Amino acid sequence: MSSRIFAFCALRCGSARSRAVILAIGFTTWAGDARYARAEILKMKDLDYARAARAAGASTPRVLARHLLPNALAPLIVSAAFGVGWAILAEASLSFLGVGLPAPATSWGGILSAAPGLIDEAWWMALFPGLALFLTVSAYNLLAEGLRTASTEGGSRS
């Protein structure tokens, strides 16, 4: 929630261009992604295959590049897939509040912000963009959940 407040303030003070929206969303999420990647690497560095590589004389950069990063990639891809859904919701929220994409660009949040005034005459202005937003975010979350399941099942077989 605090990242949305930061993005709102950053976009309110600056111009509401597409690039500014993308940068505001990206700058508010990279720290969490970096912490997650670091935690995965720290968790894996004490596993048997990393110890065996160090015992065989591999340097730290080699252990990191050949053993730790490839094994940490699956959880990071799952996190990125969940992040896409969050970014779509963040952009829609910012556009709904009026600080998202500029007027010529079409956004589900921008369409939804116009819907309350038209709800009696044009109920579909709220239903279909909201439904599309819900289905898109749900699809990315289901994709991420499927990737997570596949990566944990694949890891337990070997």
Q: What share of the chain is helix, strand, coil (3-state, %, to 5)?
A: 80, 0, 20
pLDDT in tens, 10-50: 555 555 577 778 888 888 888 888 999 999 999 998 899 99
Q: Which domain holds residue 84?
A: 2-157
The full DSSP string for 72-95 is HHHHHHHHHHHHHHHHHHHHHHHH
Q: Reply yes or no on whether the pLDDT at 103 is more than 80.
A: no
Q: Reply yes or no on whether the pLDDT at 7 is more than 70.
A: no
C-alpha separations of 88 from 46, 103, 107, 111 in Å: 36, 18, 10, 14
Residue type, 110: G
pLDDT in tens, 83-100: 899 999 988 888 888 888
For the record, the structure tokens of 36 come out as 């997650």
pLDDT of 95:
85
